[in-house]
Amino acid sequence: MSSESTSKKSIGIVKTQSVRISQPLKLACGIVLTEHELIYETYGELNAQRNNGILLCHALSGDHHAAGFYEGDNRPGWWEHYVGPGKAIDSDRFFIVSVNNIGSCFGSTGPTSINPQTSEPWGASFPSLRARDWVESQRLLMEHLNIECWAAIIGGSLGGMQAMRWSLEHPTKVRNAVVIASSMKLTAQNIAFNEIARRAIKSDPDFCDGNYLQQVKAPVRGLALARMIGHVTYLSDELMGQKFGRELRIGDLVDRNADPVEFQVESYLNYQGDKFSDSFDANSYILITKMLDYFDLSREYGNDPVKAFGHSECNFLVISFSSDWRFAPERSREITDALLAADRPVSYIEIESDKGHDAFLLPNARYEDALGGYLSRVADQLQGGA
């Protein structure tokens, strides 16, 4: 599979779809959204049995555009290398659904949406969310698409948390859960990084206590800094050394009249921060990082993950990456051990990579073979009526 990856075709031109779900959605915090809108994309065709659906779950800053291209835009979707005809997540064999979750800022109901009770943007007043709220919203989309059971639910990082939550909340509606670079709960260090990023946003004078949209402002400096903090944690030290080392972009360490010294890594991080602040919403960033902090798969089961996974009925594939220190392989092994102790069918693979947490988004032959091989067997089972 991996040897052919460069010759595999893109899904091509794709279009965004939307649905307004009129069924009330009661959130874990107790607030009810009487209706909400979801933006999503689909790739491939739903078969006659309507059982070849795959749900892709995005992470913190992800969206619905996982693969293909928009008309007139040469930027591919965020998982272009893995989603498409003949690729690991094969659109020739599966009907793939990629949804932008509520609380995000790419068209689905969230802080930038209009609150029907005030006729103004929700802003900081948008209700707090849990991963189970995303799962319940996705289930309503599932009903809209007339799918009874997902062939697989796949996600990396926060997306993997959603896949695990699906297996507990709706065990009969998912046959396979693919959990990539994820964890059953965040470490204290992860929570600390998220809080530092939130503080960076809130310290921006243009944050306006979260009401910046009403005042026609945007905390772009704070959001850019938050992204820079996060981005550093997604990369490995080895990768940053390979990409940048101590190379200078501009400046002279001797000539005081020259431009100020700037290292290549500084330029890169500033670029990433500025680009992100132009496209993402600060309230959404705060909301979703809090959701990450709150996630604890086994809280309702006496903090016993074995007991929690005892409620699942699907097969699992768990994948980790050797240099990922944000969601270290130890976290994935904890998931695998709990599944084994719960007598759940699970396969685990640790991928050697120097790309850090971002490795789950980037090309890797062994990763591609493992994910593609697993899903190929899933497709074969569907065709065989298993």
Annotated catalytic residues are 157, 324, 357
Q: How many CB atoms lie within 10 A of CB 4?
A: 10
CB 123 within 8 A of CB 3: no
User: Nearest to residue 79, comparing CAs of 379, 291, 359?
Assistant: 359
Amino acid occupying residue 372: G
Find tokens 């392989």 and name the residue: 329
Give yes or no for a contact between 267 and 226, defined as CB atoms under 8 angstroms apart.
no
Kindly list the distances between the CA atom of residue 248 and the CA atoms of 232, 243, 251, in Å, as whole numbers in the listed order.
18, 12, 7
Beta bridge partners of 98: 41, 56
Alpha carbons within 13 angstroms on the beta-carbon side of residue 36 total 30
CA distance 368 to 346: 18
Distance CA 229, CA 196 (A): 8
Q: Helix or strand or coil: residue 357? A: helix
The token pair that represents 81 in the structure block: 């290398």
197 vs 191: CA distance, rounded Å: 10
Whether residue 94 contacts residue 54, with contact meaning beta carbons closer than 8 Å, is answered with yes
Helices (H) and strands (E) counted in the chain, each on its own, are: 10, 16
**SS3 (DSSP) at 342:** coil
Tokens of 1: 């599979």
Please report the beta strands in 64-128, taking only residues with DSSP state E, as ranges in sequence order. 83-84, 89-90, 95-100, 114-115, 120-121
